[in-house]
Amino acid sequence: MTLQANELQALARRVERLEKQNRSAKIRTAIALTLTSAAVMMAATRQHSRTVEAERFVLRGADGQQRAVLATTDAQGRSGGLLIFSSEGQPRLSLGVVGGLPDVTLLYGSGSGMQKRAILSMHEDGSPGLQLADPNGIVRVALALTADGSAGLTLNGRNGKPRAFVSLVQGDTPGLVLTDTSGHITFRAP
């Protein structure tokens, strides 16, 4: 009988240990369910933010083709902007900041033949300028307005050298200068 009493005591200890483990498991399960429920309820009641933050956004068409890139810096680490692409994936319009000043550039061509065709920019004194380039990227027309109100139009030859200047300078005085292919003045008025 002593053997049976020892077996009963051992069995009672095992049952007690299992009951203790079972209570502990129930408590852990209840805590986990409570925390999970609280997290789900908090997520459901939290207001959704209307702000998305990133250093670069790439917009793609349904075909996966890149259509626009908005970035804080460009590939060279300069101030970034917005670059818009054609349906063929070629950059066509750049809006950005160059040297701390606004810049809008129209691009045409592809690969190594990509050229800046029109550039609208602002100079450090706040005066705007517009440049138009031929298919080879040579600026042929430049229009400028200076900080003092003077206006000027420059027409360049195929080599990019100025051939004609039309201006309105201080006091709205008109001016015209024509040059030959080597840059020598051939006509000036007044």
Is residue 39 one of the residues assigned to a domain?
yes
The model carries a pTM of 0.66
Q: Which of 83, 101, 116 is the last residue of a domain?
A: 116
Cα R_g (the chain), whole angstroms: 37
Residues 6+ apart with CB under 8 A from 134: 140, 158
**Does the structure show a pLDDT above 70 at 172?**
yes
Q: Is 57 helix (H, G, I), strand (E, B) or coil?
A: strand
Total tally of structural domains belonging to the chain: 3
- Do 111 and 128 fall into the same domain? no
- Do 91 and 149 fall into the same domain? no
- The whole-number pLDDT of residue 167 equals 92
Is residue 51 one of the residues assigned to a domain?
no
Domain containing 16: what range? Answer: 1-46
- The whole-number pLDDT of residue 78 equals 64
Reported as a single tens digit per residue, the pLDDT across 7-31 is 777 777 777 777 777 777 777 777 7
User: In which element (H, E) is residue 45 found?
Assistant: helix 2-45
The CATH number linked to 169 is 3.90.930.1
Reported as a single tens digit per residue, the pLDDT across 97-145 is 888 888 899 999 888 788 999 999 998 888 999 999 999 999 999 999 9
- Do 150 and 166 fall into the same domain? yes
